[in-house]
Structure 1
Amino acid sequence: MQPRNMSMSGVVDLGAVKAAGEAKQKAEQARREQAARGDAGAVAPSQLVFDVTEETFEQQVLAQSDIVPVVIDFHTDRSPLCAELSPVLERAVLALGGRLALARIDVDANLELLRQFGVQSVPAVYAVVAGQAMPLFQGVAPQEQIAEVFDQLIAVAEERFGLTGLTVDGEAPPREAAAEPPMDPALAAGHEALDQGDYAGAIQAYQNVLNDNPGDTEAKLALAQADLLLRVRDLDPAAVRQAAAADPADVDAQISAADLDLAGGHVEDAFGRLVDTVRRSAGEERDRARVRLLELFELVGSDDPRVSAARGALARVLF
């Protein structure tokens, strides 16, 4: 699946846009104040990545964007693509040593910010520089391509707005560096393959974990995520959705469209589509739609209320 809008063009007015000259003056003033404070101006790596809400957006993002470009990760816990992309963004930002900061916004809890930025689906990645929002890309992207975009962002921020970033305290512990139990090497190999977009390799690694420990819930969920990402990777979303709309009785088209729905975080759409497909189909085709729906239930989690509602709808169709 290729990212869309991988570009530094298309500046969006947030209503707090500042002229480049004013932004440079503020950036220079902030650097002078930081220098006057000495080491007090340095930040820990953990301060470069933070969660943002509608209430804290102005202070954490807009105000800070006068000093350092702030990348925004619009995400939801419901999307496997978000689960894949978010740690890649975090590693890329931390590797730049204060040239960028990363703000993580849960779209489910911050709908007003979602509307303000015009985000249509997640994951979506923006940047705010001197109060101006720039769309970077939507969907997942290889780490190398993300690094290239971040390099462009840093260049724009410095050339147009005079932003050179934050001083990072090299002695501070990395974000969430608290002691954790060592990870199963096979599970770690699966996560690494997933980060690199090697979905087949990730599937094999997670299957190896489950062969040794069938009850490993993390491996089960990761395997389901990798399966989904592999299924949607080479799909043409427009063509799939057009085929599904043109022929509601085409079970294969409906299953593929449901996969895209879920990968994009549209859980209820995916469930509703497959429930309707089960209702319209019969025999082996009906069973295929039902099995895929059950697989998506497992991926989202049995404790999710949308799963409970969809299970009830499925039961009504079947019985």
Structure 2
Amino acid sequence: MSGVVDLAAVKAAQEAKAKAEQARAEAARQGGGGAVSPADLVIDVDEAGFEHDVLQRSTEVPVVIDFWAEWCQPCKQLSPVLERLAVEYDGRFLLAKIDVDANQMLMQQFGVQGIPAVFAVVAGQALPLFQGAAGEAQIRQTLDQLVQVAEQRFGLTGLTVDPDAEPGGGARAAQDVPAGPHDTLLEAAVRALDEGDLSGAVQAYKNVLADDPGNPEAVLGLAQAELLQRVQGLDPVKVRKDAAEKPQDVAAQIAAADLDLVGGHVEDAFGRLIETVGRTAGDDRNTARVRLLELFEVVGAEDPRVIAARRALARALF
């Protein structure tokens, strides 16, 4: 679960975090109507409801998927444990049960080879957890890691559970939050990215930030779009050759760090620029420092690798 940086996933996480916060704020304004019943923490999902019940809900809370079948004896041992833990974890994850006999297409899409099989979906990203029988201690360890990653990397803190809430009421979905004043511009920026119009995306995000400098989605989107714009057309072989042969060349190190990050080598990108900061001075040092801060924006302030790199940068500066 701690693999390379997927820029699309990071973007989705930031959007999910912002919309979930809006949903919680709106529920609070309406008198706390955002809580769910413990009975709503375990749901049956089929192919027709998968997009809403799993993909959309995964922008609010990690969704653990239990692939099972009536004839599967190990499933009958595992499923009750997962159901009990879903309630015990008090909204930190949602359990979605999928009957493989009735939902062959979903089974194939996830590449399930045998059951029981357990996956998770976080901010639209699928993660395999384990397959076959598992002890409760192993399951707890896996779930603990899942909820930690969901919170640290994706800002998903789970659902508010109220034992007195009516089953089936559910929290107000994040997608039901009224559109914000900049949603049209943000959607235009996303379309521009999808179409490869990086200049258009950059300008759209800047337009949002001109009116709302702290907009988290625009800050992240601009950092991503500018990063992709910088690496567009670069010759990776030449960039890495220049960086290896010219350790004092700040521009060469910055270009290599950009490529490192796009390739998912987060620690390499951060470490390269921290070393550059440490061995330079004046304008060169500041240039490397500013680029490093921009890369922090792409990965996200809550990411443990960013937190560690900030400490290392402070040591290099002082």
TM-score w.r.t. length of structure 1? 0.48
